[in-house]
Amino acid sequence: MINFNFFVLPFTLGLIYVFLAVGKSWYRWIAALPAIDKVKLTNGLKHPGKIAAALREIFLESLIHRKMWKQNPLLGYMHMSFALGWFLLIILGNIESRYYSGTHLNAPYYPIFLKFFIHDKLVLFFEVYSVPFLFRFFMDFLLIFILSGLVLAFLKRKQSKWFGMKKTTSHHFTDRVAITTLWLIFPMRLLAESYTAGYYGNGGGFMTQPLGNFLVSLTPLPSDFVAYTMWWCYSLVLGIFFVMLPYSRYMHIPTEILLIFFRHCGIQPKKWYSSFSETEVQSCSRCGVCLDDCPMIAAGIQDSQAVYFISGVRDRYVPEEISQKCLVCGRCQEVCPVGISTDSLRLIKRREITSGQASDFRYLTNGHSGKGDVVYFSGCMTHLTPTIILAMKGILTRAGIDFIHLDADGSVCCGRPLMIAGKDRQANELIEFNKTLIRQTQARMLVTSCPICYRVFREEYNLPIRIQHHSQFLLNLIKTGKIPLQGHFSKVAYHDPCDLGRGTKTYEAPRELIGKVADLVNVREEREKAHCCGGSLGMFEASNSQRNLMTKAALDILVENQPETIATSCPLCKKTLGRHASMAVKDIAELVYEAIPRE
Amino acid sequence: MDPQVIIIGAGIAGLTAAGALAEKGHHVLILEKEAQPGGHVAQWDRLFPSRRPGSEVLDHIRKIMDGRVEIKPGIRINGIIAHDQDFTVLTEEGTSYTGQALLIASGFRLFQAERKEEYGYGIYDNVITSAEVETVFKQGKKLLTSKGTLPQRVALIHCVGSRDEKVGNLYCSKVCCVTGVKQAIEIKEQLPQCEVFSFYMDMRMYDRHFEELYFEAQKQWGVQFIRGRLSECSEAPDQSLIIKTEDTLTGRPLRMIVDLVILLVGFVPEPETGKLVEMLGLSTGEDGFILPSDEHYNDNLTTVPGVFLAGAVKGPATISNTIADARAAALQIDSWLKTKP
Amino acid sequence: MKDFGFTVQLDHSIDYDAKDKRMMRYVLYHEPSLDWCIGCGSCTATCSAGQFTLFNIRMAHTLLRRGETEKLKQELKKCMFCGKCQLTCPRGVNLRNVLLRINRAIELFG
């Protein structure tokens, strides 16, 4: 039996090409890793547990597409049918070809075009229950599985709404070629196998055989010629797809596998563009899930979302405006099926733009602070919401806490607003200044009212004392019985500030705290999925009217269950939402303070 | 007998128009949401620029209409039905009134100063509004701090709730500048030893005798004007207030400790009027005030035939402007009723 | 030299026509909202850096318009970027982007 025909060449050459190209990329990325990351990678690969965890994640995310399922079941099914279906087809095809060839070593094209090379000349009745039947059955089944995904993919182009997507991404030329060939692969396989089965009158499965018989009866041309042409077409689309893959969005498939290994070995995003960033960028599938979940969509901004930003990074040109046109709210990061750290990629770009800008904070001469058990840092913004300061000072006094209000006469900024503009180096001067001041107080705990400060205190300050946002601190005061509560609010909706929620994963403390003084109503999109209020300091390139639209969109969701009060835990959110809300917007510290019986 | 004209609002616009229509022999009914007629002017002590008592003007207007116009106080409107020839106004109490023409003279509301949180109204006892100052004067009392002491230094803050994108009001409220000057003088009259500072962005002294009043405040009363907008206000332990602004003419930030901060609150559209707008299908400008059918030559008419406008429903207006506008509206209504088929 | 009957001491006055306007053009192109400023001083009054040193954003804007580049460069280094100014501006000027763009302009043309 000669298991070769010229038509297998496009596929075979394409396959060799894609292996070489992907291998080269993998090698390049691994070689370019910073030394510390290389150590992490080699250590990680010696660890069977980590490899198993990585393989598990690859199975769940790359094949099952778990996060896509969570996003939208149709979208999840579509991706799963392609990835898992194709994967199983390859596995089963290999086993099947071993059965027929009797050897483990087959040419790589052999399982792919198996039906061309073998066909059961005779089907005996006992074969119905035998191995070939089972293979035929499952191979046809998998083909249907994939084709159903293809139908969905086609529908998605026309009706993206059904897939929970209002916006889909627009694509480059190579992407178009790749997607066209990808979509053609399985219909071609179907036609090739069906015509072959029809020509021989046997060898097909429950779908390919009747379809083949039917097609042969329809076609005026000699059916062996048609079948042979179809095999050529099948091989050609496969070959073209493989050659285009490294230059198209489908490169994300092999890259994501590497990325998952990187992550499981403990490699993390850096402050500068590293090889890890490059694998993240190349892992972006351009699926566009981040578009619909971006709060900027409400303001009609649709050119700077993560997918477009990353696409610019990939092509090594991102206009400054695009880098700066982002709330850095982190919502896209939560929904990204690949888990790309979109915010840190954005900040890396911003550092490239602004890190060289000079600043001079020598005017900050070391003032001296008093001493206290707890140091309260209200934050710059909180000075514009004096009720929060008043409430905090009132509660602290009432609880009998020895505290010092560090920035009573104006704050030295915590540094995060500079960092979010890409000016980490400049921020460090402020951080060092504040650290000295905080140390001088000899306090055992730092409490702040501002989530922006809270996040940077935790991430960058390395203070040897406890750091809490006031939501956590007040909750603790209530739990330990330090403050009496009497009043009770009805129907409060809670707005998660980005830096407190997604930024530091503080979701429960504020809710538990509100629960002590009010009836918390549900908000449709909350916690990880909470909308940015629109006031974010991360945004530079939005006009006021655009910000207003984002605020209104966030408010619309907050008021769905008719709350009487909107609570938040950030002075900036409070001010921003308060501008447009038709009901009171209060900080949780205010709620607590109002619930304390007056002496 | 059904009235010919229903007027919504018994402030000076509604009362003036009612008087003028009654003089022309029309049967007029005024619906008022408050218990007493007179609108904002009834709460005001003296009027700029002459500082005559507001009650004088109000008494004069009422004298014209008294006995000839019916006023229904305490009315809440919850529906208006437009027929071919007339309008039926339904109230929450279940009563209804039908008239051939409708005049909306429901005025404005003062900006709620709590919305400007950093100014401390509702948080610090010594931050008050210009309206509260009028109440004190009207009651013949002295302007005192929350502790009952005489203020040694008072700051008047212009443009509170006006010309401020942060509260969504981009427009100028027109009357606060001159009200601030008037109140500054009145404070000096009452408390000659008190220092009075005015913090302004622009002094808009556009009408007759306004500039003279401004000059008088400087020349005769020693009121000090600082060009800078208040950014924040905080409270010292003794309940005096620390205000932060920039003295833009020296280009340096300025801090000042004052005993009393008076916020010159601007005009905002009356929310109740918003309901009328919806019921009648009228249109409003971006500022939320009702748009007349033409801002120059039909500014008492609306796009709905038979529905007329007068006074501050169309935006901030002085009392003299409002009175003139209400008389013009009465003339328009009179001729409309006469030409009606 | 022609005698006009008066003299102008150039170092004391702004010679508007001789000033470099590239930075102003750049910043206004990228952040047109700067044109909305009415010079009320809210930004300077609330400024965090302004609590510790003489730093005047309103003035920085005027320096930009008058092409006083050198002075502007020194002034701008003091900014902590906290964003309070933007939160008080009654005209809604997008001040943090203004500051970012002036910094950029200094790099490009300074």
Reading the block at residue B292, the tokens are 């007349």
Mean pLDDT of chain B: 95
- Domains in chain A (CATH in brackets) are 8-117+129-253 (no CATH), 276-354 (1.10.1060.10), 374-476 (3.40.50), 483-595 (3.40.50)
Q: Are B227 and B126 members of one domain?
A: yes
Residue B165 touches chain A, beta carbons under 8 Å: yes
Rounded Cα distance, B103 and B329, in Å: 8
Domain C-terminal end among B267, B285, B318: B267
- Whether the per-residue pLDDT at A119 is higher than 90: the answer is no
pLDDT value of residue C8: 58
| One domain, residues B335 and B213 | no
Run of H or E residues at B257: strand B252-258
Give the per-residue pLDDT at C15: 81
A599, pLDDT greater than 80: no
Q: How far is CA A383 from the centre of its chain?
A: 35
In this structure, are B80 and B162 located in the same domain?
no
Res. C11: pLDDT tops 80: no
Rounded to the nearest angstrom, the gap between the alpha carbon of residue A220 and the centroid of all alpha carbons in its chain is: 52
Cα A321 to its chain centre, rounded Å, is: 23
* A491-495: average pLDDT: 96
If pLDDT is split at 50, 70 and 90, which confidence band does B162 have?
Answer: very high
pLDDT of residue A120: 55
Question: C92 touching A, CB under 8 A?
Answer: yes
Share of chain B above pLDDT 70, in %: 99
Using the predicted structure, report yes or no on whether residue A292 has a pLDDT greater than 90. Answer: no
Question: Which of residues B248, B267, B286 is at a domain's end?
Answer: B267
CA distances from B69 to B8, B14, B88, B319, C18 (A): 13, 11, 18, 21, 70
Can you tell me the distance from the alpha carbon of A415 to that of A433, in angstroms, rounded to the nearest whole number? 10
Q: Which among A239, A243, A341, A335 has a CA at the least distance from the CA of A283? A: A341
Rounded to an integer, what distance in angstroms lies between the CA atom of residue A573 and that of residue A553? 14
Q: Check whether C33 has a pLDDT greater than 60.
A: yes
Q: 3-class SS at B244?
A: strand
Q: What is the value of pTM for the model shown?
A: 0.89
Query: pLDDT for B177-215, tens place per residue?
Result: 999 999 999 999 999 999 999 999 999 999 999 999 999
Render pLDDT for A533-551 as a digit per residue (tens, 0 to 9): 999 999 999 999 999 999 9
Minimal CA separation from B116 to chain A, in Å:
9
* Pair B159, B141 in one domain: yes
What's the whole-number average pLDDT of chain A?
91
pLDDT in tens, C60-96: 999 999 888 888 998 999 999 999 999 999 999 999 9
**Does residue A60 sit in helix, strand or coil?**
helix
Task: Name residue A494's beta-bridge partners.
Answer: A567
- Do residues A326 and A539 touch, judged by C-beta distance below 8 A? yes
Distance CA B186, CA B192 (A): 10
Residue B197 and residue B331 in one domain: no
Check whether residue B174 and residue B34 sit in a common domain. Answer: no
Backbone torsions φ then ψ of A160, nearest 5 degrees:
-65, -20
User: pLDDT digit string (tens) for A74-83?
Assistant: 989 999 999 9
Q: How far A382 CA sits from the closest chain B CA (Å)? A: 9
Tokens of C74: 């020194």
* B157 and B294 together in one domain: no
* CA max distance for chain B: 71
- Phi/psi for B70 (5° steps) reads -95, 130
| Co-location of B253 and B121 in the same domain | yes
Q: Would you say residue A70 has pLDDT above 80?
A: yes
Chain B residues with beta carbon closer than 8 angstroms to that of C75:
none
Question: Could you tell me if B118 lies within 8 Å of chain C, comparing CB atoms?
Answer: yes
What phi and psi, each to the nearest 5 degrees, are found at residue A238? Answer: -65, -45
CATH number at residue B64: 3.50.50.60
* The pLDDT of residue A107: 86
Residue A345, CA distances (Å) to A72, A314, A418, B150, B306 in order: 26, 11, 16, 60, 63
Q: Which chains touch A (3 or more CB pairs under 8 A)?
A: B, C
Q: Of B247, B267, B287, which residue sits at a domain end?
A: B267
3-class DSSP assignment, residue B88? strand
Sorted by where each begins, the domain ranges of chain C are 19-109
Contact assessment for residue A207 and residue A143, using Cβ atoms and an 8 Å cutoff = yes
Residues sharing a CB contact under 8 Å with residue B22, sequence separation 6 or more, in sequence order = B28, B64, B65, B68, B69
Q: What is the pLDDT of residue A128?
A: 47
What is the arrangement of strands in the sheet containing A565-568, beginning at the earlier edge strand?
A518-521, A489-494, A565-568, A584-587
Hey, of C81, C95, C97, C107, which one would you mutate to test binding to chain A, going by the most A CBs within 10 A of its CB? Answer: C81
What pLDDT, in 10s, does the model give residues A509-528?
Answer: 999 999 999 999 999 999 99
Rounded Cα gap, residues B306 and B281, in angstroms: 13
Go through C73-94 and write b for each residue having 16 or more CB atoms within 10 A of its CB, e for each that does not.
bebbbbbbbbbbbbbbbbbbbb
A518 to A473, A487, A513: CA distances (angstroms): 18, 9, 9
Three-class SS string for C69-92? HHHHHHHHCCCCCCCHHHHHCCCC
The average pLDDT across A395-413 equals 94
Order of strands across the sheet with B241-247? Answer: B232-235, B241-247, B252-258
Question: Chain A contacts of B232, Cβ < 8 Å?
Answer: 383-384, 386
Per the CB < 8 Å rule, is A542 touching C48?
no
Which residue range is the domain that position B276 belongs to? Answer: 5-107+270-339
Overall number of domains in chain B: 2
- A412, A430 Cβ separation under 8 angstroms: yes
| Tally: H helices and E strands in chain A | 27, 8
Residue with structure tokens 């007029």? Answer: B28
Range from A202-211, A257-266, A398-407 carrying the lowest mean pLDDT: A202-211
Task: Tell me whether the omega of the peptide bond preceding residue B73 falls within 30 degrees of 0, making it cis.
Answer: no
Kindly indicate the confidence band of residue A115, based on its pLDDT and cuts at 50, 70 and 90: confident
d(CA B10, CA B157): 30
Other Cβ atoms within 10 Å of B73 Cβ, number:
13
CB A361 within 8 A of CB A562: no
User: How far does the CA of residue A152 sit from the closest CA of chain B (Å)?
Assistant: 45
- Distance CA(C4)–CA(C80), nearest Å, equals 48
pLDDT at residue A202 in the model? 79
Average pLDDT on B304-325 reads 96
CA distance B33 to B11: 11
If you write DSSP's letter for every residue of A418-471 in order, what string do you get? HHTTT-HHHHHHHHHHHHHHHHHTT-SEEEES-HHHHHHHHHH---SSEEEEHH
Share above pLDDT 90 across residues of chain C, in percent, rounded to a whole number: 69
Q: What local confidence, expressed as pLDDT, does residue C9 receive?
A: 58
ipTM: 0.90
Closest CA relative to residue A227, chosen from A184, A180, A188: A188
Residue with tokens 């073998």: A118
Residue A1 binned pLDDT confidence (cut-offs 50, 70, 90): very low
Q: To probe the interface with C, which of A355, A363, A576, A577 has the most C CB atoms within 10 Å?
A: A363
Same domain, yes or no: B229 and B253: yes
- Residue numbers in B near A384 (CB within 8 A): 117-118, 232
Cross-chain CB nearest to C45 (options B163, B165, B228): B228
Q: Does A540 lie at the interface with C, CB-CB under 8 angstroms? A: yes
Examine the domain organization and report whether B130 and B259 are in the same domain. Answer: yes
pLDDT at A4 over 60: yes
Kindly indicate whether the domain formed by C19-109 is annotated with CATH number 1.10.1060.10: yes
pLDDT, tens digit, 9 for 90 and up, residues A557-593: 999 999 999 999 999 999 999 999 999 999 999 999 9
- Those of residues 39-98 in C touching chain B at CB distance below 8 A are 39-47, 50, 54, 56, 58-59, 87-92
Taking an 8 Å cut-off on Cβ atoms, the answer to whether C78 and A361 are in contact is yes
Query: Is there a single domain that holds both residue B143 and residue B181?
Result: yes
Tens digits of residue pLDDT in B89-130: 999 989 999 999 999 999 999 999 999 999 999 999 999 999
Angle, CA of A44, A50 and A53, to the nearest 5°: 150
If you average pLDDT over residues B64-88, what whole number do you get? 91
Q: Are residues B208 and B103 part of one domain? A: no
- Taking the CB of residue A360, how many other CB atoms lie within 10 A of it? 14
- Tokens 């935006």 sit at which residue? B315
